[in-house]
Amino acid sequence: MGNCQAAEAATVVIQHPGGRVERQYWPMCAAEVMRSNPGHYVALVTLCFSEDENKQDSSGVRLTRLRILKPKDTLLLGQVYRLISSQEVTRALRERKYEKMRRSHADMINQQQQQQQQHLQQQVAEQERERQKSSHSGAKERHWRPTLQSISEVVKADQFT
């Protein structure tokens, strides 16, 4: 008995933007597909499962990741590929660049705030050390000692007689 689905697994599946599915029964170069579909890139479709750590019985969230292929890459049998328009690619690259800039800007602001906080903590610690230093070392010197000049009393002998 033969396996009728074995031939289906040995195909290159190319999904077009309009929903049409193209099957090729031999490996081919990505440049050939891009030539026959101008204005489109070929992307490898990869399924990822994100597991939620809080829920142990859940099967996770299914994510589809796309990796854009270079024209010299070969489309392999058994893989699924998707055609993506060049506008979608430029939009995605722009969004990625914007996200990267936003994240780096947020990191820079966070780093500056941490530096300011450390600087303030150092100043407070130094002021505390100065206060303790002056109170300990100056404690002996701060006692009030009168510096009165002595008054001499002259006693006349004839006053007591």
pLDDT in tens, 71-116: 999 999 989 999 999 999 899 889 999 999 999 999 999 999 999 9
pTM of the model: 0.55
pLDDT in tens, 21-80: 999 998 899 999 999 999 999 999 888 777 655 555 556 677 778 889 999 999 999 899
- The better pLDDT of the pair 134, 140 is held by 134
pLDDT in tens, 142-152: 667 777 777 77
* Backbone torsions φ then ψ of 4, nearest 5 degrees: -70, -20
pLDDT in tens, 65-76: 888 999 999 999
Domain ranges of the chain: 8-85
Q: Which residues contact 35 (CB under 8 A, 6 or more apart)?
A: none
Average pLDDT score over residue span 109-136: 88
Architecture of domain 8-85: Roll (3.10)
Average pLDDT over all residues of the chain: 82
- Gap between the Cα atoms of 22 and 145, Å rounded: 104
Question: What is the pLDDT at residue 122?
Answer: 92
